[in-house]
Structure 1
Amino acid sequence: MTGRPLATVSVDLDNLWAYLKTHGDPGWRDYPSFLPAAVPRLLDVLGEQHLKATVFVVGADAVREDGAKAVNEFAAAGHEIANHSFGHEPWLHRYSRDRLADELSRAEDAIVSAGAPKPSGFRGPGYSVTRDLVELLIERGYSYDASTLPTWIGPLARAYHNRGVPAAARDDGRGELFGGFSRVLAPVHPYRWRTAEGNALVELPVTTMPLLRTPIHGSYLVQLHEVSPRLARGYFRTALRLCLARGVTPSLLLHPTDVLEGKEAPGMEFFPGMAGGSRKTALVRWALRTMREQFEVVGTGAYVRRSVVRRERSTARLDRGR
């Protein structure tokens, strides 16, 4: 215990094939992987800062050799392993309840088979969350979800992402990627989803800039850093100051792409910030160090265990279709 307010750090262990799949590149079916390059780097960065993060793992990777090895290495280093779905389809909100239950179950089995405990936290790919999802997570004994990104830029990010997607691949959910402008109204503080039956599940949003509601997670910082290192660092410092002033728990999200060079992720030329791998890794180190100067930084599961979350929101707000 440090007396400082809590903040959280997590890693979505999205793999190369998952990015290609979302972008409509048929090469994803070969399941290309950049985990052997990214995982040691992420472990080093977190280890240097003496941080225990939460790593959201995709089940389809956990059943493969390199993914299972990643699960073992993160778990051995003391990081929490959480569920990031089995097939990493950002249009999870379109799934039937039965298909969604199967998706959760298959990912859990893969994670446990890879040597980690059954997960107690979930994050939907593409920040997908529905009432069915919340209810199923409660039924399956989860303590929290971390799928919301309270921002207004979803349609802009979607347009940027989809500009190179083949026309034939645009009708399966990519037209709804990252949500709509209405997400700016979602809470930025942690809260509890409350069901009609009275059950509850903690929601830990990925933090966006208080007031402005613009993203502050690793990929956005990397993109800003390419424009101006001073701008990126000033932007992040301002976000942390606003979090302190408004009592917001910063929940920083990282991805493997935040520490990789473009040549280590072939086919991802469409993705922003894929230049300058060593500079990117240095930026992530700086961001984590800056957080630790002002906050006690823990994983998402540790935050939920240590905090009393009083804010509530009814799952009636969640349309079953979105």
Structure 2
Amino acid sequence: MSKPYLSLSLDMDNQWSYMKIHGEEGWEEYPSYLDIFVPHALQVLEELDLKITFFIVGQDAAFEKNRQYLRQIADAGHDIANHSFKHETWLHLYTKDEMKAEIDSAHDIIHEVTGKAPSGFRGPGFSWSGTLLEVLAEKGYKYDASTLPTVIGPLARLYYFSTSNLTKEEKEDRKEIFGKFSDGFKKLKPYFWNTKKNQQLLELPVTTMPVFRIPFHLSYLIYISNISSNLMMLYLNIAIFLCKITKTEPSFLLHPLDLIGGDQITSLAFFPGMNVTSERKVFIFKKVMKKLGKHFTLTDMNGHVDAIIYKKGLKTVQVPN
């Protein structure tokens, strides 16, 4: 009997985007760590023989200094997806014209630089709206992956605000980042959105622990490992068990800072979790992948989406106004 699928994706948030999110000065100069991170990540993934999906920010692809590294990702056989152009976590406030320009500009430059046309999207900070879904469907995208069905979104936002240098106005723009408590009750398994024009778009949520609806993607596992490695594995084992008994095929999320520490990216040493060394993070990542690989077929987002569409039989949900 074949194992259920688990898709792996990495949101390619660059140094400037972390600084922008936290209100740090100097982000407008668009400092980048792609020259350090990309070769590091590709080597780790090659050692594990893994192919994943990289959600790329269009603004990074627009800079000549980054292009060779983004091309390396595609040349290594990894899947490429769209993570917006400006990486703004208030994407849900965009008008339809603004949204179309944002998606199109990112799509075009990512395609030009990597040679691969994105067919999937994830909003920065899990930001999404009915407008976004309609634009993606009209553009012919296969899927959206912007929803995070968790009940701890408000707590994550509170912590984020308390550790940032954001102004009152900037906090207002970001007041829905990480979602509302009610988002924890959204569907956890994949489903189809149905737009006003009767177009369908697959939603592949970032998987949280079934029943409890708390995240278990790598950032959280690394945090727990700082308390206890055994506790981290217990937490992961519970998540795997609940996914299997509920027949939930996970979409497992990664971020650059999950694989690299402040020892290599010294300019982000202030960021949570950057006190963990790159060596330690890679060790945890490999341990987690080995565990997940025992229970699931590890694939990229497109492989997972194709399998889901082949199976069909999913529920359809009306796109919200």
> Aligned equivalents of 1:196 and 1:92: distance in 2?
20
Flag the 1:281–1:169 CA change in 2: closer, same or farther, 3 A. Answer: farther
> Match of 2:291, SS?
helix
Deviations 1:243-263 (A, max 9, x none): 111100111111110112124
> Aligned equivalents of 1:248 and 1:294: distance in 2?
12
In the alignment, what sits opposite 1:170?
170
CA contact (8 A) 1:24 1:166 kept: yes
> Aligned equivalents of 2:217 and 2:264: distance in 1?
21
Give the aligned residue type for 2:151. W
- CA shift for structure 1 position 129: 1.4
In the alignment, what sits opposite 1:288?
289
> Aligned equivalents of 1:105 and 1:171: distance in 2?
27
Give the aligned residue type for 2:136. L
Flag the 1:113–1:172 CA change in 2: closer, same or farther, 3 A. Answer: farther
> Aligned equivalents of 1:78 and 1:264: distance in 2?
25
Deviations 1:171-212 (A, max 9, x none): 452222111101111111111111233211111111101111
In the alignment, what sits opposite 2:256?
256
> Aligned equivalents of 2:304 and 2:56: distance in 1?
19
CA contact (8 A) 2:161 2:171 kept: no
Deviations 1:14-42 (A, max 9, x none): 10100110111121111111112211222
In the alignment, what sits opposite 1:212?
212
> Aligned equivalents of 2:19 and 2:318: distance in 1?
32
In the alignment, what sits opposite 2:302?
301
> Aligned equivalents of 2:168 and 2:246: distance in 1?
45
> Aligned equivalents of 1:315 and 1:41: distance in 2?
42
In the alignment, what sits opposite 1:78?
77
In the alignment, what sits opposite 2:15?
16
In the alignment, what sits opposite 1:187?
187
Counterpart mapping for 1:34-183 below 5 A = 34-163=33-162, 164-168=164-168, 170-183=170-183
> Aligned equivalents of 1:115 and 1:262: distance in 2?
28
CA contact (8 A) 2:52 2:301 kept: yes
- CA shift for structure 1 position 61: 0.5
- CA shift for structure 1 position 214: 0.5
- CA shift for structure 1 position 153: 0.7
> Match of 1:117, SS?
coil
In the alignment, what sits opposite 2:6?
7
Query: Which one is further off, 91-100 or 266-275?
Result: 266-275
Give the aligned residue type for 1:99. E
TM-score by length of structure 1 reads 0.94
Give the aligned residue type for 1:249. E
Deviations 1:67-114 (A, max 9, x none): 322321111111111000001011100111111100001101111221
In the alignment, what sits opposite 1:227?
227
> Aligned equivalents of 1:24 and 1:313: distance in 2?
39
> Aligned equivalents of 2:204 and 2:65: distance in 1?
29
Between Structure 1 and Structure 2, how many residues are aligned? 317
CA contact (8 A) 1:190 1:205 kept: yes
In the alignment, what sits opposite 1:315?
318
Query: Which one is further off, 46-55 or 181-190?
Result: 46-55
Residue 242 (1) aligns with residue 242 (2): yes
Give the aligned residue type for 1:79. H
Structure 1's consecutive aligned runs of 4 or more residues displaced over 4 angstroms after TM superposition are: none
Give the aligned residue type for 1:305. D
CA contact (8 A) 2:194 2:317 kept: yes
Percent of pairs with identical residues: 41
> Match of 2:175, SS?
helix
Flag the 1:171–1:295 CA change in 2: closer, same or farther, 3 A. Answer: closer
> Match of 1:262, SS?
coil
Gaps of 5+ in 1: none
